[in-house]
Amino acid sequence: TGYDVANSCRFDDGDNAYMHKSQGGGNRRTFTLSCWFKRGNLGTEVGLFDVNNATQPYSNIRISSSDFLKVDDYDGSQDTMLITNRKFRDPSAWYHLCVAYDTTQSTASNRIKVYINGTQETSFSTETYPAQNFDTAWNNSGETLRVGDFAGNGWDGYMAEVVMIDGQQLAPTSFGEFDSDSPTIWKPIDVSGLTFGTNGFYLDFEDSSNLGNDVNGGTDFTEVNLAATDQSTDT
């Protein structure tokens, strides 16, 4: 028992399927991104989130062709690059990703925190954090945010419960919890009561006629090569 996620969105990289919108102005230093994802094709670079389509300045979260997770900010130089040592290559598993930014923090490793299935990732092959008070491309007014893409490298698989919280660096417990009977199992909770902030959004994919619907009430995403049949009950 608990919170049930009704729908996910299926992305096929062969269709170059993704969704996008122009960002409003928000907090470029402090915010949190959360989503559940399930992989399809392995061994190819795919994007979960992308701002500015690799045109400077840009920010993105992606999985490399070697199946490592990457968190990337670039503005004329490599401001952020986190590459996990762990690989994400189980196509039968749902993973929960939480990436929480607060570049105002004095300790570099506190400026970006990456969590997988409720546990913070601390093992990185590359670990470059942004300078204190760095302004990312996230929430930069007028720049294009894509979900399910990175510079034309489209996501392949499923995404569910896609959330941005503008203005807060949240812990994963805002989005999930460990099961009381099986405490190694991380499961979703209802996020509809969160404070999403000026530029935050929530995609639940429950409207098959408008998969890019922001149920938080903000500007909807425009779907590209996505159809009602891409609404899925695999969650």
**pLDDT tens string 113-153:** 999 999 999 999 999 999 999 999 999 999 999 999 999 89
C-alpha distances (whole Å) from 106 to each of 81, 144, 167 are 18, 29, 17
C-alpha distances (whole Å) from 28 to each of 25, 60, 100, 206 are 8, 13, 12, 29
pLDDT of residue 2: 76
Give the tokens for residue 213.
Answer: 């619907």
Q: At 80, which amino acid appears?
A: T
Cβ(206)–Cβ(214) under 8 Å?
Answer: no
pLDDT of residue 63: 97
| pTM > 0.85 | yes
- d(Cα 132, Cα 219) in Å, to the nearest integer? 30
CA dihedral 45, 48, 54, 59 (to 10 degrees): -130
Both ends of the chain: CA-CA distance in Å? 15
Residue 31: Cβ-neighbour burial (10 angstroms; 0-12, 13-18, 19+): buried
pLDDT of residue 1: 57
Give the chain's residues under pLDDT 50. Answer: none
- d(Cα 110, Cα 178) in Å, to the nearest integer? 23
